[in-house]
Structure formats: structure tokens, C-alpha cells
Homo-oligomer: A and B are copies of this chain.
Amino acid sequence: MHSKIQAMTINDPKQEFSWFRRISSQFISDKDFDKLEKTSVKLIFKKGETILKQGGLPTHVVYLEKGIVKFNYENESSKNLILTIVSAPKILGGANLFYKDNNLFSFIAVEDCEVILIDAKVLEEVLVENSRFAMMMFQVASEMFKKSVMNFISLAHKQKEGRIADIILYLAAEVYNDTSFHLSLTRKEIAEFAGCSTENVIMTLSKWQTEKIISVDGKILAIKDIDKLKHISKIG
């Protein structure tokens, strides 16, 4: 029963692309949008699954319709680094679109995700024929770039507590849109995002809990004193 509904959804792309269609409609014709839809595939990824793999060819651009995704970079010694975390709805791989190199990093589902894979070649054709649409797309990509840069700046010259504070504040403001949220990241993943050890994240969160800056109940994390958290972020 449930799978039937799902299948229907998959087979009826007209139902999808809602956010993307709305913002695109100002820039491209229905005909061009249909062209994108026809060559797109909708897929569902479970938590932990890889949507797009580091090193692979950028044959598709990802439209994230539902769910949360991490941008994961894995180095030669299999250490992971999370570049950023984003929630739907969003166009991912904006940067990937414009250079033809292999993907710099993987997209991995942090929550169950619904994504639409858009054929990169077809999208490029549409972009070339609709320069204002292209400009909009690049602006979206730039916004994401900007947020990554802010993350990196935090990482680069704050220490542990400032960086973890920045991440909690970022998750609340940009990913979960609430000061209280179901944290889908493990401590290890937060550490990979903050560029520190897992133990450090555990210790810092515990400490903040006793100081009543946050509360942690199972997977629910709530910011109790946002001013203190912002202060920690500021003093680094």
C-alpha cells in the first residue's frame, strides 16, 4: 500500500520539483522545465546512503526535495571531513555544475531523503538558453559557497568550543529552523564537522548541559541559552 503511493510519486514527476519549479518559473518556460523533468529521475535514499560519490563524474545535479544531506570529504587515510550540512529544499552540486572535474566530495543522506537527479547535460543546455535562469542558479550556488566559507572561517581561527557552538547555532538556524531539534548527527559526525575529536564533542556537550546552555534528551537537542552560546562562538 505504502510502496504503491511511493511508486506513484516516483512515476509522476509533475508532482515533484515543487520548490524548484516555483523559483524556476520566473526564469524559464514550461517547455524548458518539462525538458528538465523528462530527463530527471526521482530516488529515495535511506539514512547513511550515498547519493553522489566523491571522485565520480558529475553527470547529474541533485535537487534535494526532502531530507538532510552532508557534504563529506574522505581523505587517503579514510578520515572524513564534513564540509557542510543542508536541508531540503535545495539544489546541490551547484559548483559541480560548472566545472567538469570529478566530484570533490560525496553527498550522503543524514536523514531519509527524496532527491531528483537532473541530467547535467540537459540542465546545461537549458542554462545556456536561459541566461537569467543561469544567473539565478549560480546565485544559489554562491549562497551555499558563502555558508561553507563562514564555516571554514570558524574552523580556522576559533578553538573547539567556539567551533562546536557555531555548528549548533548553524544547525538550529539553517538546517532544523528551530532551537530545539531531533539531532540526526552522531557525536562523531559533529566532530568531523568541527574538525576535532569525538571525545571533545562529547565532553563539550556534556559540560554545556550541566551549565544549562543546552539540554540533551536522547536525540533531542535544545538550545536553552542562545546568548551564552553566541558568546562562546564570539570569544572563540
* Contacts from A to B (Cβ < 8 Å): 73, 75-77, 79, 81, 83, 95, 97-99, 101, 104, 124, 127-132, 134-135, 138-139, 141-143, 145-146, 148-150, 152-153, 155-157, 195, 234, 236
Contacts and interface: CB of A to CB of B under 8 A. Distances in A.
Contact of A135 (B81, B83, B127, B195): B127
B127 A131 contact: yes
B157 A81 contact: yes
B234 A157 contact: no
A73 B153 CA distance: 8
Contacts of A129: 131
B149 A83 contact: yes
Given A104-B149, A152-B155, A155-B156, A142 B79 contact: no
By DSSP majority rule, is chain A's interface helix, strand, loop, or mixed? Answer: helix
Contacts of A156: 81, 152, 155, 195
A146 B99 contact: yes
A98 B139 contact: yes
Contacts of A150: 104
